[in-house]
């Protein structure tokens, strides 16, 4: 019933399935239609597709879930699956079935075909514009060629170059994308699961994906269940179904048919759950996608993927730039036509304007920057599956985190002790080697003995060299905690146990609620037996008549019982699991060393014992988490804990890691403090809230929204993984960018739904990893925070990169505009522009990705999706209309200088375009009366291109330096801290030198060797750009909120 | 506010641009350009230059068909008229006329009579009416250029029988005394030497397109074989005469 209840928690399950109980048959059903009606229309479109899809699957599932294997006897099963429980299947038969059913693994979500991905890169972003440019070039080539013009081939080449640019950047982006996908692929293949199978009457270890229906498999504690299995023999087998149901308590498994319903019956173990202890043998009844988990996972994969924030930002940016390019292009097309330019010429201008306006290299740069960050994040244990998720993490405003394993260490650890009427704290850090509390009391000696002896957990052999905390233990969580605790404090526990031989034992069971054992003592003079017992504190206390204080047994009066109660309540209130310990030395005369202890008849005293102390355990928070949470807090990120645990434990952990801060109170806390009923408390006053899954179930969406809105510190306890989806949707309704951590299969819808789903690398199931955008390799919450930091940094740095790249577009565009309007010789060629965009500018713009944060980026609020755009008005205007224009001025000065020094004074140049470009005029007179042939003019024009190119490059160096910061002075940031920037600067100048002097004789490239002094003409302008930007930043810092700040800060 | 800002900003940039341009122009001499390396060797050009790229089409009996060529030639030769050359001096033929030390550069006289039948004095139609059209070949002016050797123009036709070529002055000689050129400001009255090429088109070859290529020869520092520049020291044009 539990599963049914949990699964039906999904009230708003428009995207999720619902498991409903229908008499004795379980059917998986999506109440798609009904829920679709319920949800607002906005979602309708989006899910139309899914609806259709799911209906089909639904039918299939209904049919197949009519599972009756749990009702069949072993022999019926053997018959049904054509197998034998002793011999197993034959290899040949297994191969047949494998061929029929396919491998026993979950089909990963259907990937987009590679060719589609590739084509998407080819037409995405600016590519369309460039294709248009290329097509226009070819058209004008065709026309000119037909007319027999000499320069026709220039346009052919230009078209080819443009097409090449698109194809190359497309290939590059595709390659980058593929590379990051491969990281993920290699990761998921790292640990192939193995299974122990009986085939051909032999036990074989084989890869779990080779399993087929009818195979006989053996499982033992610690194994993942390799398929859906009908158990046929078990020994103390317990499974952890948390990945299926979210229930973290291990459930025992046997071969008995205990329940009509296959999900509840004890004799079926499910794929991808874990066997916690014991052993079992079973028949595989379902494999791969036909397993229960497989069905859930395949349905979950239907949840729509939203566009990542950075994708939206880049789209916005592409629209912006394309809009500018097209409108300027069309405007000047009209102008040039009305200025009586030939249509063909006007088209060529149009191409030039498009090429000048489109930052061809930028999208590739963005990809590289993102993948650099992804790499950096992978080093910090955040493995990003989708490059764009890098930035999404940075814009996260709410993190819904699991507790176990993410916030905590995922292991029980002794946290407190109580003896001699006093509470002692134990060290719970990850790498403890000693315990600092006072160990001098004789009571401790007695307590430690009980802890050591009354414990069945053991270290796996062969781990002596490992630190205690890292050793693998066979035993349940509490016993493990006690064993490790004792090992740390006392040293060699196994040796102590050996010296105190166990003579009898009653293991823990849920009726007794205690565990007892009787030992010989290692004191050779003392022939008495020692009876030790541990268990639920109140039960232990009932059995005691005395209590040990400072090593002396004292009668247990009401005052001492009161002290016990207080301590018990206090430790319980910390959310800790408390155990009581007591002992009794059996009198030697009644129990001689030959005494036959019988645990069934209990021929020994189990009351009037001596109470020694309490130990309390908790799954302690990871030591790095409190810091990470407070970082989140200062970064304006709300951390919400979502856990299946008990509210008290959840709250205690939340408090200890700072999710609920020390000063804030829940409604219940306030009620308790003011001593009034909960209903009378003003809910607005409480900053914190602990919401129980049961309450959540009955909540309307409005109520949930209210909670999410009104409380800054929220803990959801006792929630099912399905409720996570509701919580995520609730957060998204607040406009938040939500990151969600998860590990179970049932988390996958929430992971998908979240803006960024974070799967646990260690504890996570494959389904969760498939659904997630990011995998946390160390399962540590603190790693998410470093990821957030990287994500925010890359957003800032992309802004800088884009600002840097856009600036020079104006310096590339202005020449065309002035060429058209003033009819001067062409200042810069289209090919030359491509050499800037894809040559000199590439490395510097990537280098900006290495820039350090200007201030503590974790001290500001997450960016507002709607307001803080990647490319905002200020950035565009500042780059285009200010720095860009300054660059143009600098470049034009160089251009005019080159022409003037060769004999063409600026006044001569105005209006000369038609004659200048006339092939028949070979005695073109300059300002000094000299005459030039066409080729001599063209060569001079190329020199002009080169000079213009060099000037832009030089000024881009200044642009690069100013873009290092947006607010701080360059001197605050440090000119030399980012070494890669200097690599960028040197590469930029190096490439320019090579193009100018190395390739200056290759005619097609339109570069010519340039007089050295022309490199310096633009230097004053570069300096001016720097100074101007410093002034801008100074005013921004000086006068925050002023007109200047609003208009100049991007 | 925004407008004001941009007004000031662009005003400043405009001022800065003007200022730097002014500074740059101050560094230039008004007499000779700073660099002349892009035109180390002169190109050749012809007059008249037909609108249709260097192709002459005319009917020798239809005055209208060559009227434009004739008027262009006439106009071109106006500056060579004796009346315009009064202040020009007679220089020593065959020698470079160096005037580096002289403040006012003198121009050498170029007598139209040297162009013989192509001077337009005897035949007002420059031979077009007789089927012997004249084309003037000139060498581009380049400041400071001093040709070496004995530069002369030589034209060839692809079909040698189609046309008989006469040169004025004879041998297509370009006299060294016209060099060097000192530029528009210093050498205001400078006249560049001309070579008239008279094409006596064979009557068999009327209605045919004749390709004529003229080159400057006899001077080692005047290039005429550049791969890319088809007009450097040479020029090709077509003539088609109908009757």
**Average pLDDT value for residue range A975-991:** 92
> A672 by DSSP, 3-state: which?
helix
State the best of B142, B189, B238 to mutate against chain A, taking most chain A CBs within 10 Å.
B142
**Which among A576, A603, A618 is the end of a domain?**
A618
> A596 by DSSP, 3-state: which?
coil
Task: Decide if pLDDT at B81 tops 70.
Answer: yes
CB–CB of A929 and B141 under 8 A? yes
Measure CB to CB from residue B232 to each of A889, A927, A933 and give the nearest one: A933
Residue whose C-alpha is closest to residue B214's, from B178, B166, B147, B181 = B166
> Global pTM?
0.78
pLDDT of residue A672: 85
**Average pLDDT value for residue range A787-804:** 91
CB–CB of B35 and A901 under 8 A? yes
Q: How confident is the model at residue A180 (pLDDT cuts 50, 70, 90)?
A: low
CB–CB of B21 and A893 under 8 A? yes
Smallest CA–CA distance, residue A859 to chain B, in Å, is 32
Measure CB to CB from residue B143 to each of A923, A928, A1047 and give the nearest one: A928
A443 shares its domain with A543 = yes
CB–CB of B43 and A905 under 8 A? no
Domain boundary assignment for chain B: 1-30, 38-241
Lowest-pLDDT range of A107-116, A612-621, A824-833: A107-116
Task: Decide if pLDDT at A36 tops 70.
Answer: no
Burial bucket for residue A754 (CB in 10 Å: 0-12, 13-18, 19+): buried
Residue of B nearest to A886 (CA): B13
Task: Decide if pLDDT at A868 tops 70.
Answer: yes
Residue whose C-alpha is closest to residue A485's, from A536, A534, A554, A547 = A534
A609 shares its domain with A645 = no
Phi, psi of A691 (to 5 degrees): -105, 130
- Number of domains forming the structure of chain A: 3
Q: How confident is the model at residue A1001 (pLDDT cuts 50, 70, 90)?
A: confident
A766 in active site: no
Smallest CA–CA distance, residue A146 to chain B, in Å, is 17
**Average pLDDT value for residue range A216-245:** 81
Enclosing domain of residue A950: 792-1048
Residue of A nearest to B35 (CA): A902
Percentage, residues of chain A above pLDDT 90: 22
CB–CB of A940 and B38 under 8 A? yes
Strand partners, A425: A416
Residue A322 domain-assigned (yes or no): no
Task: Decide if pLDDT at A45 tops 60.
Answer: no
Does B191 touch chain A if contact means CB atoms closer than 8 Å? no
pLDDT of residue A65: 53
Chain B CB contacts of A943 under 8 Å are 38
Q: How confident is the model at residue A190 (pLDDT cuts 50, 70, 90)?
A: very low
Domain CATH number, residue A938: 1.20.1110.10
Does B172 touch chain A if contact means CB atoms closer than 8 Å? no
CB–CB of B43 and A897 under 8 A? no
Residue A101 domain-assigned (yes or no): no
Dump pLDDT digits (tens) for B36-57. Answer: 888 889 999 998 887 767 888 8
A577 shares its domain with A650 = no
Give the number of other Cβ atoms within 10 Å of residue A202's Cβ.
10
Task: Decide if pLDDT at B129 tops 50.
Answer: yes
pLDDT of residue A66: 59
Percentage, residues of chain B above pLDDT 70: 99
Does B207 touch chain A if contact means CB atoms closer than 8 Å? no
pLDDT of residue A150: 64
Lowest-pLDDT range of A341-355, A944-958, B72-86: A341-355
Chain B CB contacts of A939 under 8 Å are 38
CB–CB of B39 and A906 under 8 A? no
pLDDT of residue A1014: 94
Dump pLDDT digits (tens) for A508-565. Answer: 876 778 889 999 888 778 888 899 999 999 989 989 999 999 888 899 888 988 999 9
Phi, psi of A212 (to 5 degrees): -130, 165
Give the DSSP per-residue string, A517-557: EEEE-S-TT---EEEEEEE-HHHHHHTEEEEEETTEEEE--
Lowest-pLDDT range of A255-259, A660-664, A874-878, B55-59: A255-259
CB A295 within 8 A of CB A61: yes
Helix (H) or strand (E) holding A979: helix A979-993
Measure CB to CB from residue A886 to each of B13, B39, B138 and give the nearest one: B13
Smallest CA–CA distance, residue A311 to chain B, in Å, is 32
A387 shares its domain with A440 = no
CB–CB of A930 and B231 under 8 A? no
A666 shares its domain with A730 = yes
Sign of CA dihedral A556, A562, A565, A571: negative
Measure CB to CB from residue B231 to each of A922, A930, A1047 and give the nearest one: A922
Smallest CA–CA distance, residue B231 to chain A, in Å, is 6
CB–CB of A931 and B141 under 8 A? yes
Residue A658 domain-assigned (yes or no): yes
Tokens representing A343? 């249509």
Segment 921-940 of chain A within 8 Å of chain B by CB: 922-923, 925-936, 939-940
Dump pLDDT digits (tens) for A282-328. Answer: 899 888 878 877 776 666 655 555 677 788 888 888 888 888 888 88
Task: Decide if pLDDT at A690 tops 70.
Answer: yes
Smallest CA–CA distance, residue A430 to chain B, in Å, is 59
Chain B CB contacts of A927 under 8 Å are 33, 184
Measure CB to CB from residue A933 to each of B17, B138, B231 and give the nearest one: B231
Q: Which CATH superfamily is domain B38-241 in?
A: Na, k-atpase alpha subunit. (2.60.40.1660)
**Average pLDDT value for residue range B95-123:** 86
A948 shares its domain with A804 = yes
Chain A CB contacts of B143 under 8 Å are 928-930
A35, A69, A154, A402: the active-site residue? A402
Dump pLDDT digits (tens) for A819-858. Answer: 988 999 999 988 899 899 888 999 999 999 999 888 878 8
A971 shares its domain with A918 = yes
Task: Decide if pLDDT at A947 tops 90.
Answer: yes
> Cα separation of A389 and A795, whole Å?
11
Task: Decide if pLDDT at B11 tops 80.
Answer: yes
pLDDT of residue A26: 32
pLDDT of residue B155: 92
Smallest CA–CA distance, residue A932 to chain B, in Å, is 7
Smallest CA–CA distance, residue B215 to chain A, in Å, is 15
A733 shares its domain with A796 = no
Chain A CB contacts of B43 under 8 Å are 922-923, 931-933, 936
Dump pLDDT digits (tens) for A372-388. Answer: 888 888 888 888 887 78
pLDDT of residue A807: 92
CB–CB of A920 and B53 under 8 A? yes
Dump pLDDT digits (tens) for A596-606. Answer: 888 888 888 88
pLDDT of residue A889: 95
Chain A CB contacts of B10 under 8 Å are 885
The number of C-alpha atoms within 13 Å of A874 and in the hemisphere containing its C-beta is: 16
pLDDT of residue A739: 92
Does B143 touch chain A if contact means CB atoms closer than 8 Å? yes
CB–CB of B35 and A892 under 8 A? no
Segment 1001-1020 of chain A within 8 Å of chain B by CB: 1003, 1011, 1020
Measure CB to CB from residue A934 to each of B1, B9, B231 and give the nearest one: B231
Residue A977 domain-assigned (yes or no): yes
Higher confidence at residue B128 or residue A264?
B128
pLDDT of residue A410: 80
Task: Decide if pLDDT at A10 tops 60.
Answer: no
pLDDT of residue A60: 44
Residue whose C-alpha is closest to residue A353's, from A892, A801, A810, A806 = A810
**Average pLDDT value for residue range A470-483:** 85
Inter-chain CB pairs, A–B, below 8 Å: 116
Lowest-pLDDT range of A8-22, A167-181, A216-230: A8-22
A768 shares its domain with A884 = no
CB–CB of B45 and A1011 under 8 A? no
**Average pLDDT value for residue range A625-629:** 90
Measure CB to CB from residue A902 to each of B33, B183, B226 and give the nearest one: B33
Residue A735 domain-assigned (yes or no): yes
pLDDT averaged over every residue in chain A: 82
Higher confidence at residue A1026 or residue A693?
A1026
Task: Decide if pLDDT at A23 tops 50.
Answer: no
> Cα separation of A239 and A261, whole Å?
17
Domain CATH number, residue A653: 3.40.50.1000
Domain CATH number, residue A606: 3.40.1110.10
CB A638 within 8 A of CB A396: no
pLDDT of residue A57: 43
A440 shares its domain with A503 = yes
Q: How confident is the model at residue A88 (pLDDT cuts 50, 70, 90)?
A: confident
Most confident of A187-196, A671-680, B166-175: B166-175
A589 shares its domain with A655 = no
Segment 51-80 of chain B within 8 Å of chain A by CB: 53-54
A586 shares its domain with A707 = no
Higher confidence at residue A560 or residue A36?
A560
Higher confidence at residue A20 or residue A291?
A291
pLDDT of residue A35: 36
> Cα separation of A297 and A288, whole Å?
11
Percentage, residues of chain B above pLDDT 90: 33
Smallest CA–CA distance, residue B122 to chain A, in Å, is 29
> Cα separation of A659 and A980, whole Å?
38
CB–CB of B183 and A901 under 8 A? no
Smallest CA–CA distance, residue B193 to chain A, in Å, is 14
């Amino acid at each position: 019933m539990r599963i049914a209840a949990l699964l039906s928690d999904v009230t708003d399950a428009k995207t999720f399935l619902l498991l409903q109980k229908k008499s004795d048959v379980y059917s998986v059903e999506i109440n798609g239609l009904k829920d679709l009606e319920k949800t607002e229309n906005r979602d309708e479109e989006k899910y139309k597709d899914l609806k259709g899809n799911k209906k089909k699957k639904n039918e299939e599932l209904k049919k197949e879930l009519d599972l009756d294997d749990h009702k069949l006897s072993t022999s019926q099963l053997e018959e049904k699956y054509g197998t034998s429980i002793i011999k197993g299947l034959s290899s040949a038969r297994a191969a047949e079935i494998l061929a029929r059913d396919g491998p026993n693994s979950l089909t990963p979500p259907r990937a987009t075909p590679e060719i589609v991905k590739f084509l998407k890169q080819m037409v995405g972003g600016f590519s369309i514009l460039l294709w248009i440019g290329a097509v226009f070039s070819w058209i004008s080539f065709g026309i000119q060629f037909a007319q027999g013009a000499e320069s026709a081939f220039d346009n052919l080449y230009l078209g080819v170059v443009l097409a090449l640019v698109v194809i190359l950047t497309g290939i590059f982006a595709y390659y980058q994308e593929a590379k990051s996908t491969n990281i993920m692929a290699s990761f998921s293949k790292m640990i192939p699961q193995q299974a122990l199978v009986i085939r051909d009457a032999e036990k074989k270890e084989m890869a779990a994906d080779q399993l087929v229906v009818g195979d006989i498999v053996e499982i033992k504690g610690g194994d993942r269940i390799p398929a859906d299995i009908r158990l046929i023999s078990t020994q103390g087998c317990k499974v952890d179904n948390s990945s299926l149901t979210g229930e973290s308590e291990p459930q025992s498994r046997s071969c008995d048919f205990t329940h009509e319903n296959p999900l509840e019956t004890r004799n079926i173990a499910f794929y991808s759950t874990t066997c916690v202890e014991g052993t079992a043998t079973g028949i595989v009844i379902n494999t791969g996608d036909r397993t229960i988990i497989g069905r859930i996972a395949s349905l979950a994969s239907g949840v729509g993927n939203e566009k990542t924030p950075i994708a939206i930002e880049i789209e916005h940016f592409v629209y912006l730039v394309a809009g500018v390019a097209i409108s300027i292009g069309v405007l000047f097309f009209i102008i040039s036509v009305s200025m009586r330019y030939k249509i063909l010429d006007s088209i060529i201008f149009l191409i030039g304007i498009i090429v000048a306006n489109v930052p061809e290299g930028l999208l590739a740069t963005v990809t590289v920057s993102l993948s650099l960050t992804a790499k950096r994040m992978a080093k910090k244990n955040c493995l990003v599956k989708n490059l764009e998720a890098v930035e999404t993490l940075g814009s996260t405003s709410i993190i819904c985190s699991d507790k176990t394993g993410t916030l905590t260490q995922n292991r029980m650890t002794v946290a407190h002790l109580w003896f001699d009427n006093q509470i002692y704290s134990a060290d719970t850090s990850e790498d403890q080697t000693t315990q600092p509390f006072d160990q001098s009391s004789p009571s401790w000696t007695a307590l430690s003995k009980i802890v050591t002896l009354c414990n069945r957990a053991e270290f796996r052999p062969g781990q002596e060299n490992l630190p205690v905390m890292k050793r693998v233990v066979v035993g349940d969580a509490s016993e493990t905690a006690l064993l490790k605790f004792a090992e740390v404090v006392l040293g060699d526990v196994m040796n102590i146990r050996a010296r105190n031989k166990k003579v009898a034992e009653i293991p823990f069971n849920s009726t007794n609620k205690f565990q007892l054992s009787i030992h010989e003592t290692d004191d050779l003079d003392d022939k008495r037996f020692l009876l030790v017992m541990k268990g639920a504190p109140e039960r232990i206390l009932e059995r005691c008549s005395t209590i040990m204080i400072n090593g002396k047994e004292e009668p247990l009066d009401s005052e001492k019982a009161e002290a016990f109660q207080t301590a018990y309540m206090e430790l319980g209130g910390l959310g800790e699991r408390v155990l009581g310990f007591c002992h009794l030395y059996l009198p030697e005369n009644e129990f001689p060393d030959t005494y036959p202890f019988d645990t069934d008849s209990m021929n020994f005293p189990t009351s009037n014992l001596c109470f020694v102390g309490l130990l309390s355990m908790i799954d302690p928070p990871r030591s790095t988490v409190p810091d990470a949470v407070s970082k989140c807090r200062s970064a304006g990120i709300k951390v919400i804990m979502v856990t299946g645990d008990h509210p008290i434990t959840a709250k205690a952990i939340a408090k200890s890691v700072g999710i609920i801060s020390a000063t804030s109170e829940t409604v219940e806390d306030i009620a308790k403090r003011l001593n009034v009923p909960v209903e009378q408390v003003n809910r607005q006053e409480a900053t914190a809230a602990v919401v129980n899954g049961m309450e959540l179930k009955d909540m309307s969406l409005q109520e949930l929204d209210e909670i999410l809105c009104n409380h800054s510190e929220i803990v959801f306890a006792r929630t099912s993984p399905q409720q996570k989806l509701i919580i995520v949707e609730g957060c998204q309704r607040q406009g938040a960018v939500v990151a969600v951590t998860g590990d179970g299969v049932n988390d996958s819808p929430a992971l998908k739904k979240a803006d960024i789903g974070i799967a646990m690398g260690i504890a996570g199931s494959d389904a969760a990893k498939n659904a997630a955008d990011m995998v946390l390799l160390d399962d540590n919450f603190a790693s998410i925070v470093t990821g957030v930091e990287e994500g925010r940094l890359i957003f800032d740095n992309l802004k800088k990169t884009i600002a840097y790249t856009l600036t020079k577009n104006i310096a590339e565009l202005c020449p065309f505009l002035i060429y058209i309007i003033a009819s001067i010789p062409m200042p810069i060629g289209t090919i030359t522009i491509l050499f800037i965009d894809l040559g000199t500018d590439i490395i510097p713009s990537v280098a900006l990705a290495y820039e350090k944060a200007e201030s503590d980026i974790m001290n500001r609020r997450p960016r507002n999706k709607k307001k803080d755009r990647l490319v905002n008005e200020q950035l565009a205007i500042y780059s285009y209309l200010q720095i860009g224009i300054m660059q143009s001025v600098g470049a034009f000065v160089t251009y005019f200088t080159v022409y003037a020094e060769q004999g063409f004074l600026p006044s001569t140049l105005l209006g000369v375009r038609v004659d200048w470009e006339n092939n028949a005029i070979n005695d073109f007179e300059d300002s000094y009366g000299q005459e030039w042939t066409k080729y001599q003019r063209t060569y001079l024009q190329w020199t002009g291109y080169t000079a213009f190119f060099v000037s832009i490059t030089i000024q881009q160096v200044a642009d690069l330096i100013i873009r290092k910061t947006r607010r701080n002075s360059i001197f605050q940031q440090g000119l030399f801290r980012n070494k890669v920037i200097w690599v960028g600067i040197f590469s930029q100048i190096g490439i320019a030198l090579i193009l100018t002097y190395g390739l200056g004789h290759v005619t097609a490239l339109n570069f010519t060797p340039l007089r050295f002094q022309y490199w310096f003409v633009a230097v004053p302008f570069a300096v001016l750009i720097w100074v101007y930007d410093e002034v801008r930043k100074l005013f921004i810092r000086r006068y925050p909120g002023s007109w200047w700040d609003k208009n100049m800060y991007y | 506010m925004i407008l004001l800002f941009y007004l000031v900003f662009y005003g400043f940039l405009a001022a800065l641009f003007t200022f730097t341009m002014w500074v740059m122009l101050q560094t230039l001499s008004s007499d000779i350009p700073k660099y002349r390396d892009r035109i180390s060797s002169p190109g050749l050009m012809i007059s008249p230059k037909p609108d249709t790229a260097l192709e002459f089409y005319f009917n020798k009996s239809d005055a209208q068909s060559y009227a434009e060529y004739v008027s262009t030639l006439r106009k071109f030769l106006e500056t060579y008229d004796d009346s315009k050359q009064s202040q020009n001096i007679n220089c020593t033929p065959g020698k470079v006329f160096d005037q580096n030390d002289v403040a006012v550069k003198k121009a050498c006289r170029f007598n139209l009579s040297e162009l013989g039948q192509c001077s337009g004095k005897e035949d007002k139609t420059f031979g077009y009416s007789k089927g012997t059209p004249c084309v003037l070949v000139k060498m581009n002016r380049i400041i400071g250029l001093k040709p070496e050797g004995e530069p002369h123009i030589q034209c060839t036709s692809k079909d040698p029988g189609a046309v008989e070529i006469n040169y004025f002055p004879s041998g297509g000689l370009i006299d060294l005394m016209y060099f060097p050129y000192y530029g528009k400001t210093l050498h205001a009255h400078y006249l560049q030497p001309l070579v008239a090429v008279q094409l006596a088109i064979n009557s068999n070859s009327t209605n045919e397109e004749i390709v004529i290529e003229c080159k400057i020869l006899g001077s080692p520092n005047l290039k005429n074989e550049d791969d890319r520049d088809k007009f450097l020291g040479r020029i090709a044009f077509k003539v088609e005469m109908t009757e």
